[in-house]
Amino acid sequence: MSTADAGWVLRIKRAREETRAGKGFARTISEYAVFHNGAPSVGLAGQFVERQGPGDNTASGVKSHRRIEAGTYELWTHDGASNEKYKTIGYSISDGVDKLPRPSLRLEPAGKRSGILIHPAAGYLWSIGCLNPTGGLNDANDNIKWKDSRSRVIALIEDLKSYLASEFPTKNNVRIPRASCVITGEP
């Protein structure tokens, strides 16, 4: 096993960009899977949706609302100090789309980008630089389904808790040990 496979790894491979008629921006569709020490974790796979590319972690990427660069990122728990929309620990138990805070994980470091989250979404896309999990998107007319997206974020969090056991952080805005996200591809 290589060091890239050690620990809990979320692998995301970007597959395509697509634009829905009437939308002013493209979205990127990726395939994802979770691995424990190089072995696939059963049931933890699907798609992610992000904004258009190319990946850009500079100030220009922020200004142009581009996706983050391909690369390897640390995973962190999250609690936005300036807004209560997303948390890893302490998210709302209600699955209502309007119930805050919503479940999330954070990717770090991301250059000039901040608040790059994995969080649930609905519709075409709910992101500027973040990643929205989903499944079953065949083309630009398919929508992210809220309850499916939310359950996928929670499944990632719960799998991390199970894998890490007592090593999983007990508070937000802390690096999650032995956990990473590897993003590849620039369609």
> What's the average model confidence in pLDDT over 25-30?
97
pLDDT digits (tens, 9 = 90+) for 29-52: 999 999 999 999 999 999 999 999
In sequence order, the 6+-apart residues with CB closer than 8 A to the CB of 3 are: none
Q: Which of 53, 24, 27 is CA-nearest to residue 124?
A: 27
User: DSSP 3-state assignment of 46?
Assistant: strand
In angstroms, rounded to a whole number, what is the distance separating the alpha carbons of residues 175 and 117?
13
Query: What are the pLDDT digits (tens) for 59-75?
Result: 999 999 999 999 999 99
% of residues, the chain, pLDDT over 70: 97
Q: Give SS3 for 116.
A: coil
